C-alpha cells in the first residue's frame, strides 16, 4: 500500500456538504484534499440531450444505486425497508440528481422536545444557522419569492419559476379551500447566475440538467474551492478511517480506479458521505481501540435513520396543463406543517405540488397505478391523462427512532470488497397518522381542483433519498455522536458534516439545511483553529 | 443459471415480444398511430433491452406459460385480459417489460407528433413556460405568519 503526502484536512465525499465545507475552509490556506469515489459529470452526458431521456431515468440515471449500478456506485441492501435508498456517487453527490426543491427547515424543527415533547432538541437552533442558510442560498443560487407567511423571512436572489398553467390551476383550488400556498424556492436559475445559464424548461430536472441551470455542487462550490487551492481527487473509494496510538484519526485507506490501495494521512478528517455512507464508513473503520466502529461509544452510529415518508396523490383534470415541459417543483403549502394536537399526531408536513410528466413516464406511472389499461382502450385512456395530470407529494416529518438503522450487511460487498450498508427501517405510528392526514388533505384540494381518478401511492416508487440522523449531533456523548459543532465526541480530529448529524428531519427536502449545517461547522472550525483538538 | 441467460433475445423470443407489444399497445388507425409491434418501434425495443434482458425474458416466458404456449393464437380479448392480469400482479418482470415497451413507443416520431409534441430531445431548444396568474397570490400575502417562532414560545 502506498502512502501519500500528508494533508491538513481530508474531506471524504464531494456532495452537498463536502463541497460546502471545502469551499468554506479554503480561505484558511490549509492543504485540503477531497476524496470522491465517483467521477466528474459532463452536462453533455445528461439524459435530456437525447431522445431516450425518459428511459435513462431507469438505467444509468436511476436514483437507486442498486438499479443504476455504475462502477462508481456501491450496493445497498434495502430489502427490509418500505422506502428505498436513493443517492448518487460522483462530484456533486446527490445534488446531481435531486429535484432542486429548496425549502428550509422551520425553527420549530430544531426544538421538538421543548415545543412538542417528542424526540430531542438540536443543540443549535434555526437562528444560529440563519446566516449560513443565506450564504448557501447565494452560493447555490436560489429562485423564489420573499414574503411567504408560511416560513421565516428569506430573500432568494432570483425570481421564482413561473406558475404556468399547472401552478395557476393549483392556486385557484388552494384559494378555494382557503389554505396557504406559495411558489416553491428552488436552486434552478431563473436568470443567468454566476456563470450558469437560466432555465429553459427542459423538463424534469432530477437526472441532471443539460442546461446547467440546476445548481449542483460540481458547478457551484467546487470550481471556486478548486480555484482557491483545494484538491479534489476522483475515483478514490475510502475503505476505512484509521486511528493512531492516541485515538486520533490518522487518515484514510482508499482504493483508486485500478483497485490499488493507498493510505492518505491527514491532520483532520471530515466525513461527508451522507446518512448511509457515513455510518457505513464509521462501522467499517472498527479497530481494536474502537471495536464497535469509529466514534461509536454511544452505540448510535447508524441509528435514528430518517427517510421522510412521502405519499404521492395524483389525479387528472379536464384542462390541459404544462405536462413535463418545465421543472417539476411548483408550489408548496405550509398549512399543515406545525403541530396541531387536534390532528392526532405531532409535527407536520409540507404539501408539494408537482407538474406533469413526459410521455413515457406518464404511461409507466399510470399503468403501475392500474389506471392505464393495455389493449384497445390504451390510447383513449392515455389521451385523457397525458398533460392533464396533477400530483401532490406529502413531505412528512420523520422523527428519529433507534430501531431504524444502518448496519453492515454480512454478505453484500461493493466492487472493492468493502461491506455494503444494510437498511432496517419501519414507518412509525405517528408518521402513519400524519401520512393519512396529508393524503386526505391532498385529495381534498385535488377534488377542489376538479381532479378525477385520484390515486395514492403511500410509499412512492422513487423515494426522496433523504438520508438523515445516523450520527446525530448533541452535547451528551452518551446520546449523540458529534458535538454541537460537528466534532466526534470520541475522536477529536474527526468531523461529520452531512445529513447524518441531523437530530430531527423536519418535513422538507433537507439539502438546504445540510449545507447550512456544513457551513456552520466549517465556520466553527475556523474560529477554533488554534485549539481545534482541545 | 442458464448459460444462455445473457444471450440476446432469440428470433422466437422477438416474435413473442412482438405479439405481446402489439397486444399491449395496438395500432390505432383513427389516431394514426402505429402499434408497439411496428417494425421500427420493435427494433428500438429490442435494442433497448439492456440490463432488463433477464426480466424481459422471464416476462415472455411467464406470458407463454399462462397462455398454454399459444399466446398469439388466443383471441384478442383473451390476450388483453392475460396481459392486464399479469401486469397488475406487480411482478418485477412484468413491470420491466411494460417500462421497456412504453419507453420505446412514446419516443417514436409518429407517436409524439400524434400527441402534438415535437419529435426531439428537450435540450438544447427547451420549452416555454407561461407566467400564470400571480394575482392569485394576493389572498395569501395577507395571511399572518403560520410558522412557530421558537424564541417567543420558549420564552413564555
Nearest CB neighbour to A375, from listed B84, B126, B146:
B84
Note whether A270 and A257 are within 8 A (CB).
Answer: no
Note whether A397 and A336 are within 8 A (CB).
Answer: no
Nearest CB neighbour to B121, from listed A49, A127, A171:
A49
Query: Is the pLDDT confidence value at B1 over 50?
Result: no
Contacts A167 to B, Cβ<8 Å: 132
Asked if the A2-356+388-529 domain carries CATH number 3.50.50.60, the reply is yes
CB A108 to CB B124 under 8 A? no
Task: Specify burial of residue B69 (Cβ count, 10 A radius: 0-12, 13-18, 19+).
Answer: exposed
Provide the 3-class DSSP secondary structure of residue B62: helix
CB A107 to CB B143 under 8 A? no
Cis peptide before B124, with omega less than 30 degrees from 0?
A: yes
CA distance A424 to A441: 30
CB A359 to CB B112 under 8 A? yes
CB B146 to CB A338 under 8 A? yes
> Nearest-CA residue of chain A relative to B23?
A375
> Residues 6 or more apart from A378 whose CB is under 8 A from it?
A372, B24, B25, B26
Q: Which residues of chain A have pLDDT under 50?
A: none
Helix (H) or strand (E) holding A35, with range, is strand A32-35
- pLDDT on residue A234: 98
- In angstroms, what CA-CA distances link A78 with A59, A64, A88, A276, B139? 18, 10, 16, 11, 45
Note whether A38 and A90 are within 8 A (CB).
Answer: yes
Q: How far is A86 from chain B (nearest CA, A)?
A: 19
CB A379 to CB B31 under 8 A? yes
Give tens-digit pLDDT for B29-86: 999 999 999 999 999 999 999 999 999 999 999 999 999 999 999 999 999 999 999 9
Query: Is the pLDDT confidence value at B5 over 80?
Result: no
Give tens-digit pLDDT for B8-37: 999 999 999 999 999 999 999 999 999 999
Contacts B127 to A, Cβ<8 Å: 200-203, 325-326
Q: Quote ipTM for the complex.
A: 0.96
CB pairs under 8 A between A and B: 191
The long-range contacts involving B14-20, CB below 8 angstroms and separated by at least 24 positions, are B14/B42, B14/B46, B15/B72, B16/B60, B16/B63, B16/B64, B16/B71, B16/B72, B17/B42, B17/B45, B17/B46, B17/B56, B17/B60, B18/B42, B19/B71, B19/B72, B19/B79, B20/B59, B20/B60, B20/B63, B20/B71, B20/B83, B20/B97, B20/B101
Nearest CB neighbour to B24, from listed A106, A322, A374:
A374
Contacts B118 to A, Cβ<8 Å: none
Nearest CB neighbour to A51, from listed B115, B121, B125:
B121
Nearest CB neighbour to B132, from listed A106, A149, A164:
A164
Question: Domains of chain A: which residue ranges?
Answer: 2-356+388-529
CB A367 to CB B87 under 8 A? yes
CB B99 to CB A364 under 8 A? yes
CA distance A173 to A171: 5
CA distance A484 to A511: 19
Contacts A506 to B, Cβ<8 Å: none
- pLDDT on residue A329: 87
> From the candidates B115, B117, B146, B155, which should be mutated to test the interface with A, based on the most A CB atoms within 10 A?
B146
Contacts B26 to A, Cβ<8 Å: 375-376, 378
Closest by CA position to A161, among listed A92, A98, A214: A214
Q: How far is A244 from chain B (nearest CA, A)?
A: 43
Nearest CB neighbour to A50, from listed B112, B121, B125:
B121
The beta strands (E) that lie in A317-363 are given as: 329-333, 349-354
Q: How far is B97 from chain A (nearest CA, A)?
A: 11
CB A338 to CB B145 under 8 A? no
Task: Specify burial of residue A242 (Cβ count, 10 A radius: 0-12, 13-18, 19+).
Answer: middle
In eight-state DSSP terms, residue A342 is G
Contacts A375 to B, Cβ<8 Å: 23-24, 26, 76, 79-80, 83-84
Contacts B138 to A, Cβ<8 Å: none
Note whether A517 and A497 are within 8 A (CB).
Answer: yes
Amino acid at each position: 500500500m502506498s502512502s501519500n503526502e500528508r494533508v491538513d484536512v481530508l474531506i471524504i465525499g464531494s456532495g452537498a456538504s463536502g463541497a460546502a465545507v471545502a469551499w468554506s475552509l479554503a480561505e484558511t490556506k490549509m492543504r485540503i484534499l477531497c476524496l470522491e469515489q465517483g467521477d466528474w459529470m459532463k452536462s453533455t452526458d445528461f439524459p435530456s440531450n437525447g431522445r431516450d431521456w425518459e428511459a435513462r431515468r431507469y438505467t444509468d440515471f436511476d436514483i437507486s444505486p442498486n438499479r443504476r449500478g455504475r462502477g462508481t456506485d456501491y450496493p445497498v441492501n434495502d430489502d427490509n425497508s418500505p422506502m428505498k435508498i436513493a443517492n448518487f456517487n460522483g462530484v456533486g453527490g446527490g445534488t446531481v440528481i435531486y429535484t432542486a426543491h429548496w425549502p428550509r427547515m422551520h425553527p420549530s424543527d430544531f426544538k421538538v422536545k421543548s415545543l412538542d415533547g417528542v424526540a430531542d432538541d438540536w443543540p443549535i437552533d434555526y437562528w444560529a444557522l440563519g446566516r449560513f442558510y443565506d450564504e448557501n442560498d447565494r452560493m447555490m443560487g436560489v429562485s423564489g419569492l420573499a414574503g411567504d407567511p408560511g416560513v421565516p423571512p428569506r430573500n432568494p436572489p432570483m425570481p421564482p419559476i413561473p406558475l404556468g398553467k399547472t401552478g395557476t390551476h393549483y392556486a385557484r383550488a388552494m384559494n378555494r379551500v382557503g389554505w396557504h400556498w406559495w411558489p416553491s424556492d428552488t436552486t434552478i436559475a431563473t436568470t443567468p447566475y454566476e456563470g450558469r445559464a437560466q432555465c429553459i424548461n427542459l423538463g424534469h430536472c432530477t437526472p441532471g440538467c443539460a442546461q446547467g441551470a440546476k445548481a449542483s455542487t460540481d458547478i457551484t462550490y467546487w470550481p471556486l474551492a478548486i480555484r482557491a487551492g483545494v484538491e479534489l481527487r476522483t475515483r478514490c473509494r475510502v475503505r476505512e478511517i484509521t486511528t493512531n496510538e492516541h485515538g486520533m484519526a490518522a487518515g484514510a485507506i482508499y482504493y483508486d480506479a485500478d483497485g490499488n490501495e493507498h493510505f492518505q494521512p491527514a491532520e483532520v478528517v471530515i466525513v461527508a458521505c451522507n446518512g448511509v455512507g457515513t455510518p457505513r464508513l464509521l462501522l467499517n473503520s472498527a479497530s481494536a481501540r474502537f471495536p464497535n466502529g469509529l466514534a461509536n461509544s454511544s452505540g448510535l452510529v447508524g441509528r435514528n435513520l430518517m427517510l421522510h415518508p412521502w405519499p404521492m396523490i395524483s389525479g387528472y383534470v379536464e384542462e390541459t396543463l404544462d405536462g413535463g415541459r418545465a421543472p417539476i417543483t411548483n408550489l408548496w403549502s405550509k398549512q399543515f406543517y406545525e403541530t396541531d394536537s387536534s390532528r392526532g399526531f405531532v409535527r407536520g408536513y409540507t404539501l408539494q405540488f408537482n407538474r406533469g410528466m413526459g410521455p413515457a413516464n406518464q404511461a409507466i406511472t399510470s399503468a403501475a397505478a392500474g389506471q392505464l389499461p393495455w389493449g384497445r382502450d390504451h390510447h383513449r385512456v392515455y389521451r385523457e391523462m397525458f398533460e392533464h395530470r396533477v400530483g401532490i407529494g406529502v413531505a412528512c416529518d420523520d422523527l428519529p427512532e433507534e430501531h431504524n438503522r444502518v448496519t453492515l450487511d454480512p454478505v453484500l460487498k461493493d466492487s472493492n470488497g468493502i461491506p455494503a450498508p444494510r437498511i432496517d427501517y419501519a414507518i412509525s405510528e405517528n408518521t402513519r397518522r400524519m401520512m393519512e392526514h396529508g393524503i386526505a388533505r391532498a385529495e381534498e384540494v385535488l377534488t377542489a381542483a376538479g381532479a378525477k381518478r385520484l390515486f395514492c401511492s403511500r410509499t412512492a416508487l422513487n423515494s426522496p433519498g433523504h438520508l438523515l440522523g445516523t450520527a446525530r449531533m448533541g452535547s451528551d456523548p452518551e446520546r449523540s455522536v458529534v458535538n454541537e459543532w460537528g466534532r466526534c465526541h470520541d475522536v477529536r480530529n474527526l468531523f461529520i458534516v452531512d445529513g447524518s448529524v441531523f437530530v430531527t428531519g423536519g418535513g422538507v427536502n433537507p439539502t438546504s439545511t445540510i449545507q447550512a449545517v456544513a457551513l456552520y461547522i466549517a465556520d466553527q472550525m475556523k474560529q477554533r483553529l488554534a485549539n481545534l483538538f482541545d | 443459471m442458464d448459460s444462455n441467460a445473457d444471450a440476446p433475445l432469440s428470433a422466437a423470443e422477438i416474435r413473442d415480444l412482438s405479439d405481446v407489444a402489439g397486444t399491449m399497445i395496438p395500432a390505432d388507425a383513427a389516431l394514426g398511430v402505429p402499434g408497439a409491434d411496428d417494425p421500427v418501434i420493435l427494433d428500438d425495443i429490442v435494442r433497448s433491452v439492456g440490463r432488463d434482458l433477464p426480466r424481459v425474458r422471464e416476462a415472455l416466458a411467464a406470458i407463454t406459460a399462462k397462455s398454454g404456449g399459444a399466446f398469439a393464437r388466443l383471441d384478442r380479448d383473451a390476450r388483453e385480459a392475460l396481459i392486464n392480469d399479469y401486469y397488475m400482479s406487480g411482478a418485477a418482470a412484468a413491470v420491466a417489460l411494460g417500462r421497456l415497451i412504453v419507453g420505446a413507443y412514446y419516443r417514436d416520431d409518429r407517436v409524439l407528433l400524434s400527441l402534438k409534441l415535437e419529435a426531439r430531445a428537450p435540450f438544447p431548444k427547451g420549452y416555454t413556460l407561461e407566467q400564470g396568474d400571480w394575482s392569485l397570490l394576493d389572498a395569501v400575502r395577507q395571511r399572518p405568519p403560520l410558522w412557530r417562532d421558537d424564541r417567543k414560545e420558549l420564552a413564555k
